Amino acid sequence: MHIWKVSPLIEELKTSGLSQKEQLKYFLTFSILMVLATDPVLYFDYEYVVFDALDSVVITIITILGILYCYKINEEADGKDFILRFITLGLPITIRFLVLVIVVSFVYYFFIDTSDPEIITTTLIDVVFSAIFMSVYYYYFSTKLKQFGK
């Protein structure tokens, strides 16, 4: 795996010398880095609480397990083009889930949550919601990847 040098990677990609498993390593590493890049500790003027750290850990673990599970399902289906399928299917699936998250969040925060709206901090319920949504996201994704085996 090339972490710093791009040219050798380009050559491997040109010659199709990068197996599906090697591509998975790049995709998984990139995905983990993107999850960690959204950690609130990187933001200024944000109160970082223990639940922020817990949320980052939980989401990172679910992302790793979810991608590996989807890879396994794709391998069982036909073992082809996992990264291409994940990226292309990911757009409509992510948009669907984003709408769902916005609706559920709106209902929760405007009709159920009784905390002070002036103070925005991550709570345990936020961590639980994140874990549920991310788990459902990868499960739903896997059901779509199964369709390639039919």
pLDDT tens profile 63-87? 999 999 999 999 999 999 999 999 9
Task: Kindly report the pTM of this predicted structure.
Answer: 0.81
Domain, as residue range, for 104: 7-149
* DSSP H helices in 6-149: 7-14, 20-37, 50-77, 82-107, 124-146
Residue 94 in any domain: the answer is: yes
Residue 109 in any domain: the answer is: yes
Each residue of 134-144: pLDDT tens digit?
Answer: 999 999 999 99
Task: Count structural domains, the chain.
Answer: 1
Each residue of 18-35: pLDDT tens digit?
Answer: 888 888 999 999 999 888
Residue 114 in any domain: the answer is: yes
Residue 119 in any domain: the answer is: yes
Residue 1 in any domain: the answer is: no
Measured on CA atoms in the order 115, 120, 122, 125, is the torsion positive or negative? positive
